[in-house]
Structure 1
């Protein structure tokens, strides 16, 4: 069964919109685990517009499933991850002003940088993953960096699926097959939802983990968090 990691950034966004501590991100992380989620994901950005760096430290003691911290490995981010030592760090090439993640790494162009960063994390016992577009050359490049896993950037799949074009999954299938053949673990995330998750899971061989935040939180407004998590888990069987 593919693991479901819940990205709780949107809970922090809601909290920050009013100040104070409602909703409480630590309590929400505890709840989603209680409801069956197998991981918690956060993506702190330099401006701390949603998840704050302090949240990352506060969550460490409460995430007893898999703790995944995403972000661009700038020095401040790297220092934080090395102190917390989460289960996994997912490297994402976000620019400082990015509204949301919108591209994977160029693993060929940035190979030397990624090799250095990944080795530092692996020396500290932290599993590494690289956010990549569904491109075979980028998968091959990711292998050369020494990363444990890749995270397939699934926005294009989600868009095509919404249009009724199920062939939009084909590049992801090819990339997954290549990753499996070269012993790279496969994660996926971005715009996955209750509508498209089952088809994605059924067609991606060796899918280890999905990270879902925006859609899951939006769906939970109508259906409730516990119900929505249960439906994702069913779709990922």
Structure 2
């Protein structure tokens, strides 16, 4: 069964736009869990343009499902994760100036760097995942870092599917097979939506978890948050 982890960055963006506490990030996270989602994801960035570092500590008190913190492992981020000890940390190679994550790790070039960081997180009982493109060599190299899982960067699939190209799933199917062969758990995220999720899940039965934020929150504007969470869970199960 594939778990749904809801990324609540966009809720924080909306809150920050007025400087107050509407919408209430903690209440939304609480409600999302009550609606059936099995996890909450956040991706704090150094400029705190959406999720603030304090939010990460506050959420720790109310997230009773899986708590997944994503980010580039700069020293400040590493310290944050080690203090909070979430269920999972997902390492993403995004620079401070990027709008959103736009590439996976080069796990060959950065193997030693990632190995050291992952070891520290695992010593503290935190499950680790690496954000990667669906490239078999990157997944094979990821296994050598000691990571528990990889998260497939699904933007290329989503773009292809939207254009009617269902063959865009092929690299992901192969990547999933390799991940299984080398003993890695498999997550996925980025641009997955109500439209394209079912086909992705049907073709990748080993999928453990999806992290979905932008599309889910956007769809909720029309369909309602509780309804949308239920619709995602239906597509996964």
1:1-237 equivalence runs, <5 A: 1-237=1-237
- CA distance in 2 between counterparts of 1:20 and 1:178 reads 46
- CA distance in 1 between counterparts of 2:184 and 2:172 reads 14
Tell me the secondary structure at the aligned position of residue 152 of structure 2: strand
- CA distance in 1 between counterparts of 2:205 and 2:231 reads 21
Deviation at 1:160? 0.1
Deviation at 1:137? 0.5
Residues 52-98 of structure 1 deviation map (CA, whole Å, 9 limit, x = unaligned): 00000000010000000000000000000000000000000010001
- CA distance in 1 between counterparts of 2:178 and 2:74 reads 30
Tell me the secondary structure at the aligned position of residue 114 of structure 1: helix
Deviation at 1:181? 1.2
Tell me the secondary structure at the aligned position of residue 217 of structure 2: helix
- CA distance in 1 between counterparts of 2:169 and 2:27 reads 36
Aligned residues: 237
- CA distance in 2 between counterparts of 1:26 and 1:150 reads 28
- CA distance in 2 between counterparts of 1:167 and 1:156 reads 11
Aligned 8 A contact 1:177 1:205 in 2? no
- CA distance in 1 between counterparts of 2:24 and 2:101 reads 24
CA-atom RMSD in angstroms: 0.4
Runs of 4 or more consecutive aligned structure 1 residues displaced over 4 Å after TM superposition: none
TM-score after normalising by structure 1: 1.00
- CA distance in 1 between counterparts of 2:181 and 2:25 reads 38
